[in-house]
């Protein structure tokens, strides 16, 4: 909301505007204004919150702090101006159009009225099939969105396959490393069993001496045999440990990972440059054989004007005839979806009313 024009009330919101005094007024100022101009019929406008102020001051300048009526027209900027806009003394928001080609509003009345007739005709022509064009744009937009989503999904699927294949290959190599080491060297289970061996040997030795000393006095033969078997197993484990140690000492195999550095660099370069997003460009103009066109025109001089283009003006017969009927001599260029180009020349004007 605008503030009151009074210096003493400049923080109070204005409720009225006097078109004759060019002043905003609060309640207090309106009372004094009515007393001062009670014999004069000043035009007061009530200001409402939320209402576009441009709807109230349609006849006034839109420049900041310019509340004068619109009396002039700037031909350079094609805009209506007030006296403050065209004043020769520049400064303090005045004189924005002081160096422009200025005339009175009345001087351009006929020009604008004639332009209005042309614009109305143009709008009438457009309105004939505007809904069809809007629907066509929506359909095109939907197709573009779907094409985009399909393209994104395709890229994601391809790279998902690449990542899956790399992960699978990584798991294969890791498993192979574990198998190689377990096959050629001491595996973790052997180490754990070895850690238990000293205690088992000590106990077995004591048990063996005890069995030997009491063999003839023990009537439980199965228990004696079982204890002997345990002693034999411990001895076999010790022998196995010794064999593995000797095997490792004699082993000259060195297991390494060979990533084939040259190949991996090529692979990394291929990944960096993998895929290509290409845009298919369609020619905006159809280029035909110049000699063929010259033969149609019989080398006559002419001035050309583009009347109709399907991509710009629509694809229906109505679209074509609105723009091409009764235009005189015409040349038609056509390009098929397969890229074949042809055309024709006629001195007879197009006329939909004569078509069967």
- pLDDT tens figures, 28-64: 888 888 777 766 677 778 887 766 555 555 667 777 7
H and E: helices and strands count for the chain: 11, 8
SS3 295: helix
pLDDT averaged over every residue in the chain:
79
pLDDT at 168 over 90: yes
List the domain range (segments joined by +) for residue 31: 7-101
Across 13-22, 322-331, 336-345, least confident range:
336-345
| CA-wise closest residue to 76 among 109, 98, 61, 107 | 98
Cα–Cα–Cα angle for 79, 80, 82, rounded to 5 degrees: 135
- Provide the number of structural domains found in the chain: 3
Residue 109 lies in a domain: no
Res. 249 pLDDT band, cuts 50 70 90: low
Bridge partners for 94 per DSSP: 91
Is the same domain home to 252 and 169? yes
Residue 187 lies in a domain: yes
Is the same domain home to 164 and 251? yes
| Phi/psi of residue 311, nearest 5 degrees | -65, -20
Residue 167 lies in a domain: yes
pLDDT at 113 over 70: yes
Provide mean pLDDT across the span 259-269: 76
322 in Cβ contact with 128 (< 8 Å):
yes
pTM over 0.75: no
Residue 121 lies in a domain: no
pLDDT on residue 354: 67
pLDDT at 24 over 90: no
Bridge partners for 99 per DSSP: none
Residue 132 lies in a domain: no
16 in Cβ contact with 45 (< 8 Å):
yes
Tokens representing residue 141 in the block: 């937009």
**Rounded to the nearest 10 degrees, how much is the dihedral formed by the CA atoms of 295, 296, 297, 298?**
40
68 in Cβ contact with 83 (< 8 Å):
yes
Is the same domain home to 299 and 255? no
Is the Cα dihedral 275, 280, 281, 283 positive or negative?
Answer: positive
pLDDT at 103 over 90: yes
């Amino acid at each position: 909301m605008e503030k009151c024009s009074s210096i003493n009330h400049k923080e109070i919101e204005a409720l009225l505007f006097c078109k004759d005094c060019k002043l905003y007024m609060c309640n207090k100022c309106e009372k004094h204004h009515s007393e001062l101009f009670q014999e004069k019929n000043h035009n007061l406008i009530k200001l409402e919150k939320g209402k576009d102020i441009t709807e109230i001051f349609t006849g006034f300048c839109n420049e900041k702090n310019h509340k004068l009526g619109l009396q002039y027209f700037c031909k350079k900027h094609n805009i209506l101006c007030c006296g403050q806009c065209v004043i020769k003394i520049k400064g303090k928001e005045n004189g924005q159009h002081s160096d422009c080609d200025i005339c009175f509003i009345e001087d351009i009345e006929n020009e604008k009225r004639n332009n209005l007739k042309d614009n109305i005709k143009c709008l009438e022509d457009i309105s004939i099939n505007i809904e069809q064009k809007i629907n066509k744009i929506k359909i095109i937009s939907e197709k573009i969105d779907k094409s985009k989503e399909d393209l994104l999904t395709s890229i994601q699927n391809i790279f998902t396959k690449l990542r899956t294949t790399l992960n699978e290959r990584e798991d294969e190599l890791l498993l192979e490393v574990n198998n190689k080491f377990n096959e050629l060297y001491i595996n973790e289970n052997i180490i754990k069993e070895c850690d238990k061996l000293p205690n088992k040997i000590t106990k077995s030795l004591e048990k063996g001496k005890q069995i030997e000393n009491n063999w003839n006095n023990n009537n439980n033969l199965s228990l004696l045999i079982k204890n002997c078997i345990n002693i034999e197993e411990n001895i076999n484990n010790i022998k196995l440990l010794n064999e593995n140690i000797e095997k490792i000492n004699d082993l000259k195999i060195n297991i390494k990972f060979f990533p084939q550095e040259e190949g991996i660099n090529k692979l990394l370069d291929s990944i960096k440059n993998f895929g290509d997003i290409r845009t298919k460009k369609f020619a905006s103009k159809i280029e035909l054989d110049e000699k063929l066109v010259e033969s149609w025109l019989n080398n006559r001089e002419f001035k050309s004007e583009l009347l109709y283009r399907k991509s710009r003006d629509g694809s229906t017969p109505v679209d074509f005839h609105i723009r091409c009927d009764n235009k005189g001599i015409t040349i038609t260029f056509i390009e098929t979806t397969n890229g074949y180009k042809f055309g024709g020349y006629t001195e007879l004007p197009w006329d939909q009313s004569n078509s069967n």
